[in-house]
Amino acid sequence: MTLTSSDPTVHSAYRYGALALLLAAGAIAIALGYQHLGGLEPCELCLKQRYAYYAGVPLLFLALVSLSAGQTRVAALLFGLVALGFLGNAGLGVYHAGVEWKFWEGPTACSGAQQITANAGNMLDALKQTNVVRCDDAAWRFIGLSFAGWNVLASLFIAFLGARAASETVHPR
């Protein structure tokens, strides 16, 4: 499906939305690649941060299709929902990065002191059953930022692009 409108503002909204889609799909592909190809298992908070991408990618696609079909209100609504979702995801990323830097406590299921059994006979069984990836220990950093930190930046940028696409759809400049 191609964008047939000659209106340059629609093209501008489409470009912002398409860039948001490309970045969101690329970010989740990188995360899944590190997990499945690189063996870097995600923690509980990492998995929760993926929800915005799992929802955002198809919503952005639908928004672009709606925009191409001339359904500007639907497209603007979808772009706006994506922007809000990624803004919330950036907040979750800040929380996760703060847990990694020990600014505050994380979820008890994946950070802080882990429960150790007092019974030595049960210890081996407990170790075999426990596969918890810690939320308060960044497994990877690039230029000082963990995946959580990079997710904050990516989510804020995708939120900006989604908001800009919604704005360009409703109020062309």
Q: Quick check: 2 and 68 in contact, CB under 8 A? A: yes
SS3 46: helix
Question: What is the reported pLDDT for 64?
Answer: 97
Tell whether 108 is covered by a domain. no
Tell whether 45 is covered by a domain. yes
pLDDT tens digit at each of 173 positions of the chain: 444 555 555 689 999 999 999 999 999 999 999 889 988 888 888 899 999 999 999 999 999 999 999 999 999 999 999 999 999 999 999 999 999 888 888 777 776 555 555 566 665 665 555 566 776 777 777 788 888 889 999 999 999 999 999 999 987 76
Tell whether 135 is covered by a domain. yes
Q: What is the dihedral of CA 78, 81, 86, 87, to 10 degrees?
A: 140
Tell whether 3 is covered by a domain. no
Say how far apart CA 151 and CA 154 lie, in whole Å: 5
Tell whether 39 is covered by a domain. yes
Tell whether 159 is covered by a domain. yes
Tell whether 42 is covered by a domain. yes
What is the domain count for the chain? 1
Owning domain of residue 43: 8-103+119-170
Model confidence, pTM: 0.81
